[in-house]
Amino acid sequence: MPTARVLIRCPDRSGVVARVASFLAEAGLNILDADQHTDPMTGRFFMRVEFDAGADSPMPGTDDRARIEREFTAAVAEPLSMDAFFRWPVRTKRIAVLAGPSLHCAADLLWRVSTGEINAEVTRIISNHESAGDLADRFGHPFHCLPVTKDTKSQQEAAIANLLDADRDSPEGLDLIVLARYMQILSDDFTAARPGRIINIHHSFLPAFKGAKPYHQAFERGVKLIGATSHYATADLDEGPIIAQRVAHVSHRDRVEDLVRKGRDLERTTLAEAVRLHLDDRVLIEGRKTIVFD
C-alpha cells in the first residue's frame, strides 16, 4: 500500500511528538513508523513519520492533501517554529543518471531499478562517452551522448541542463539526478539551481590522493583502509552533505588491482544506498550535515 511521509525539523521542546501524532490521528491518518533525533549540541529536533489513511479510507486526494498541509502549518508547524515537508505517494519517483567512462556504478544502479530493489523510474542516461549507450540500450532507457572538451564545457553543461529541465517540467517531474562516476566538475550555477537533488559518489580518500588514479596513490602510501562516500553535490567540490559511507580493510598483500576492485564494490553499494535513502525520504539536510533515518 502507498504511504505518505512528513519530515520535520525544529527547535527541541517538550510535546513536539505529541502535537504531531495528535494532528495526524485527528486527520484520520494512521502512523506506521516514526523515528526521531535530538541534537544535544544545537538543541534541534528532527523527525520522520510514515503514515497512511487507515484501512477503511483511501489516501487523501490532491485537495485534501493541500488542506492537511495548511492545517498542519497553522496548528503545529508555525507555533513550534517548525519546517515540515510532506511527501505524498503521487507516483513512482523519477531519476536521471549522468555516467562517465567507468560504468560500474551506473550498471549497478540500473540493475537495482530493473529488479525493483530501488523503486524508481529512469528518465534518461546522459554521458560524455559513447560506451554508456550500450548500457542504456540493455536496460531500455533513452541515451544522450554529449561529448565535452575544455572549450565546450559550458555548452555541454547547458545541453545537459536542458534535458534535465525538460524532465523536471514534464507532468511526471524529476526527483533526483545521480552522478554515477560522471567525472566532470559541474558549475556552481548548475548545482545551485538543483539543491538537494544531485547525488555524487567518490572514493573516501579526500582530501588525500586527489586527482587521477587515487587507488594507485593509496597503494603507494600503503593505506590499510579504503572506502566510498556518497553526498549531495554543491558548489563546494566534493564537500556536500554526506548521505552514506562504507569502508573496507586492505593490507600489504593487496595489489593496486585489488584496491580498485574493492573500491568499485564500495562505490556501487554506497551510491545505491544513498539513492534509496533519498527516494524513501529518509534524509534531512541540516547545514553541511545530514540527518539520515535509516
Catalytic positions, please?
A: 238
Contacts of 277 (CB under 8 A, 6+ apart): 243, 244, 283, 292, 294
Q: Annotate 170-219 with DSSP letters as a single string.
A: STT---EEEEES---PPPHHHHHTSTT-EEEEEETTTTSS-SS-HHHHHH
CA distance 14 to 30: 22
> Cell 533513452 belongs to which residue?
142
Give, as one character, the DSSP assignment of residue 119. Answer: -
CA distance 202 to 246: 11
Bridge partner residues of 78 (DSSP): none
Question: Which three three-digit cell numbers place residue 126?
Answer: 546522459
CA distance 160 to 185: 13
Question: Which three three-digit cell numbers place residue 263?
Answer: 573500491
Give, as one character, the DSSP assignment of residue 74. Answer: I
Burial 8-43 (b: 16+ CB within 10 A, else e): bbbebeeebeebbeebbeeeebeeeebebeeeeeee
Phi-psi region of 213 (alpha: psi -120 to 50; beta: other; left: phi over 0): left
Q: Within the chain, how many helices (H) and strands (E) appear?
A: 8, 13
